[in-house]
Amino acid sequence: MFPRRVVLPRTTSRSILLMQLRRFASKNFSPSAPSISKGMRYTAITGVVAAPCLWWLTSTHDDAPSLQSPPTQQLFSEPGPSGDQVTQMISQGAYSVRVKSISGVTRYDGTQFGSNPLCEDRFIHGKFPSPWDDGNQWMTWAVFDGHAGWQTADLLEKQLLPHVRHSLSQVKSASIGGSVPDEFIRRAITTAFIKLDDSIINAALDTAQSKEPLQDKIKKLAPAYAGSCALLSLYDPVTSNLHVACTGDSRAVLGRKGPNGKWEAIPLSVDQTGSNKEEIARLNKEHPGEENVVKNGRVLGMMVSRAFGDGRWKFPLDFQLDSVRKFYGVPPLTPTDDFRTPPYLTAEPVVTSTKIDPSTQTFLIMATDGLWDMLSSQQAVDLVGQWVDSRGVPGDNNKPEATYEPFDFGQFWKGVNWKFIKRRTTNQDDNAAVHLTRNCLGGNHHELIAGRLAFSPPFSRRVRDDITVQVAFFNSDP
């Protein structure tokens, strides 16, 4: 006859088990014990401690933590950023790359400084095999300015370049000998942008009707409901051509040194917003009779007129209403806005092709609107040009420190410019992209730039946007 099984309460059994393990450890966990004893100990513990019990042992404590502490004189003792901390903050996402294997490109710098709780900008940079499969390498730089989330920008970071390269390779395959005309290249890049955005929107439509689990659907819908601008540049060292494709209001500008020693700003893209007259004319033509499509510089409330994702400006209205019911989706633009004939936004880029003169000092600036909100194109070119010209020359460290009256943001309403002004220029960074970022945020006005950086998310969004900057140098080594 088997002895009767005694079942202890769970808390009692755990206490006994814990006590036994401690006794076992105190007797056997000796540094001088032979290796065979150690193996036996580990085996014994593995057999005794089941998974639920192991979790309990590792996640519980003998007593609650003590929170007693003496009162402090100040509730908030942490000061705002010092000068060194400002430099550390705007440099934490910085990189600088010397280019040795691509003819015509000598170096490029970049940085990213976030403002949103999770930075919505993304970027790529580097070399990749020529789409012509001729053994050469091309260079690329790109910035993706996300909005209403980071998901669309994150997808573009991974998918846009492969789509563009594939589209370009098809053009080469279809061409008959010789080089591919720039017009064909621009058309192939445009096709890649449009096809990728179509796949984002169509994938959302298909996902919503699928039998996938709810949690999977919600994740897959995110890149279509969020949105992103895209600015992509491709440099072909064989032809010295720089192709720039822009969807949205990130901006590319070329700095070129003239015979007189001055730096000229050459626009390679145009901001596509509800304030752009050409974009307004295009939208009015595409949506005749809809007088309120563009109002107060916005397209049915959206600042940009071209973007990836942003399904609320592209999905059919019945789909949007159904998504609200099924997935707690973002409410459609109606009835606040007159929503009749979507899509109102497009990802179709405007593409430019520019020959880089090998005999002239030239650089490329690419940045999201967090920079351009503070700087004009010419101001940015002048700043980088000054940075280039001063290399090897003693910088701001030998100049007297700029002094300003005590500052607060109320002075913006009293004539103090919240954007960049020349008087606040400083030149103290070894990275050209960091140099631009510092100057757009306040330059040598420490209280202004430190005040902007003292804000944490979500309040930082009131004084600065996510900022992503890339500066590429051609034909010179700064």
Give per-residue pLDDT as tens, 95-122. 999 999 999 999 999 999 999 999 999 9
User: Which pLDDT does position 11 carry in this prediction?
Assistant: 46
Distance (Å) of CA 426 to CA 66, 343, 420, 429, 437: 49, 45, 11, 9, 11
Q: What 3-state class would DSSP assign to 390?
A: coil
Q: What 3-state class would DSSP assign to 342?
A: coil
- Mapping DSSP onto H, E and C, the string for 5-41 reads CCCCCHHHHHHHHHHHHHHHHHHHCCCCCCHHHHHHH
The predicted model gives 148-154 an average pLDDT of: 97
The predicted model gives 347-360 an average pLDDT of: 96
The predicted model gives 263-289 an average pLDDT of: 97
User: Which pLDDT does position 165 carry in this prediction?
Assistant: 97
Residue 127: CB atoms within 10 A of its CB come to 17
Q: What is the DSSP string of 352-384?
A: EEEEPPTTS-EEEEEE-HHHHTT--HHHHHHHH
The per-residue pLDDT for range 307-330, each reduced to its tens digit, is 999 999 999 999 999 999 999 878
Q: What is the DSSP string of 249-299?
A: S-EEEEEEE-TTSPEEEEES----BTT-HHHHHHHHHHSTT-TTSEETTEE
Q: Taking the domains of the chain in order of start, what are their residue ranges?
A: 83-393+401-474
The per-residue pLDDT for range 23-81, each reduced to its tens digit, is 544 444 444 444 444 444 444 444 444 455 554 556 677 888 888 777 666 666 688 99
Question: Strand 227-228 vs strand 251-257: parallel, antiparallel, or unpaired?
Answer: unpaired
Range scoring the smallest mean pLDDT among 147-156, 279-288, 326-335: 326-335
For residue 314, which of 286, 273, 351 has the smallest C-alpha distance? Answer: 286
Q: What is the DSSP string of 433-460?
A: HHHHHHHHHTTT-HHHHHHHHH--TTGG
Binned at pLDDT 50, 70 and 90, residue 191 comes out as: very high
pLDDT at 3 exceeding the cut of 70: no
The predicted model gives 334-359 an average pLDDT of: 94
The predicted model gives 449-478 an average pLDDT of: 94
- Annotation: CATH topology of 83-393+401-474: Phosphatase 2c; domain 1 (3.60.40)
